[in-house]
Every structure is written in structure tokens, then in C-alpha cells.
Structure 1
């Protein structure tokens, strides 16, 4: 059974895989003007890997390089290995949601299918490691690994 099938069976809630909680996406509370730092740690080169974000279900926005974006995508091969963006939720605080995406040919980007899932590990206060399995092939939480720091 694929992770997608397990998520369907579990109504989208977290599932336990070998003692780790696996989610489809991860939410964090952020404040207006709060900076978020991303550090790409490693990725497998089989397919193009990235992260997509939304803030308050796209009602807020993220500012990066003076651009206001509702659902930015940061690809490992084009984004800097470390970068910072600023959050502007609809109210004073909001929900930053993130999920992994991948591209395996020129015109198709996928998320949340097959064996896609994320393990979120809190390293310290406001510091998280995300280990992502893309949806292609076997479950492998080393497909994309990144750190997120709430500044």
C-alpha cells in the first residue's frame, strides 16, 4: 500500500511508519513580518525536488526578493542552498503550510501522490528538520532533506 493510499484510509491524518509520524504537509504558526530561514541539506538527483509553501490557505503571502507570493515554490536546483523569506499572514498570526514537490519531466510537477510524505523532526525551539519522500518508487525519506528555522 502506498503512502497516498494510507493517507486516504486515515482521512489525511498523520500515519506511523516504522515509529515516525509521516504527514502530507506540515503547518507552523508564524507572525506578521516573521522571517523563515530554509537550508537545503541534501537531495537525491533522480528527480527535481522542491518545497511549496502557502500562508493561511493562500490568503496571506510570503515575501522573497521583494516579491509578494501566495504559494511560492523553491526548487533545490535553482534556489540558493540557504535563503530567508518573510511571512505576512492575513491576521497577526497565521499558518504556514509546506509540502514537498517533484518534477520528473519538463511539464509535470507532482505532490501528495504515490509514496509522498514528510517526517518533521524538531531539533530545538523553532528549528525543524524535514525529511521528504517523493511519490515515485519506494518510500525514501532521504529524497529531500531540509532545515527550517523560525527567526
Structure 2
């Protein structure tokens, strides 16, 4: 049975409260304000984890879609090891919100499972103008937030 999501879901940034003593806020689910037909670039900078690293990028609210490398969809999973290091995205969104969060895949009892939004998952944001750089943790409280580093540049 599906739970009804709050009306604000997908329209504002969510924080991971499990890092209460950290020197800065840890983003669990990023929501970037965009305009209709917004173009952006996604860049994978670095990864440092035994787990496979990636991001989920989506139009979660209202009508809209994304186009990446000629493919059309409302959401995409981009893996650092298989995605080009830089790709351009076009966003069509009648509400003006783009959702982004880090994901990872790990071996759990012989089965590779995709995970996100874990107790100690999250991202630290460093913003310079229209470039948003994210330093990610996949799992575990003791971290340097270096498991995945990626950027989104609004064009």
C-alpha cells in the first residue's frame, strides 16, 4: 500500500538529521529550482568507495521530463563508472524543481543492491555561482564525504 506523500515533497531540500554534530548541514535529498527548458551539465569529479557510486536525477513534481544523450524520461540513474564524466541534461518542468541525491550499489549476501537515503547517506554542498558541487557519503557515520564528488552546472 502506498503512503500519500506530503504536499511539499520534491519541492524543498531535505536534510539528514543523523549528522546533528557535523559542522555543516548534510543534504539527504536536493531540490534545485530550475526554469522550464533549463539546461545543465552533470560532471563526475571523483569516487573513493568500495561501493559503486552514482546519482538519481529526476523531475518528481508536476509535469515534465529530462533528456540526457537523446534519451527521454522523468528520472535517470547515472553511475559514475558507466556514465560519461560530463553529460548535458535538458529539463522540462512545469513546476520548476529538479531532484538529485546520491545512490550506491553494494553486495549484500551475494546480491548487488541499489541503496540511497540511508541513515548516514548524504551530501555536503559547495556552491560557487551556478555550479553546485556535492561531496557524498554512501553509508557509515565516520566519513570524509569523499565517496562520490559530482557537480551540477546550471547553464
TM-score (norm 2): 0.79
> Paired residue for 1:22?
26
Q: Which residue of 1 aligns with 2:100?
A: 98
**SS of alignment partner, residue 25 of structure 1:** strand
Deviation at 1:31, TM superposition (A): 1.4
Is the partner of 2:96 in helix, strand or coil? strand
- The alignment status of 1:76 with 2:77, answered yes or no, reads no
Alignment of 1:8-87 (within 5 A): 13=15, 15=17, 17-57=21-61, 59-87=63-91
**Partner SS, residue 72 of structure 1:** strand
Structure 1 residues 144 and 17, CA, compared in 2 at 3 Å: closer, same or farther?
Answer: farther
- Per the TM alignment, residue 18 of structure 1 is displaced from its structure 2 partner at its CA by 3.1
Structure 1: 5+ residue runs without aligned partners?
A: 1-11
Distance 1:13 1:27 in 2: 11
Give the structure 2 partner of residue 115 of structure 1.
120
Taking the aligned partners of 1:127 and 1:68, their CA distance within structure 2 comes to 24
**Residues of 2 paired with 1:17 and 1:60: CA distance?**
38
Q: Distance in 2 between matches of 1:40 and 1:23?
A: 18
Distance 1:64 1:43, change over 3 A: same
Question: Is 1:115–1:139's contact at 8 Å kept on the other side of the alignment?
Answer: no
CA RMSD in angstroms, aligned pairs only: 1.9
What's the TM-score once normalised by structure 1's chain length?
0.81
Residue 50 of structure 1, CA deviation: 0.1
In structure 2, the gaps of 5 or more residues are 1-13
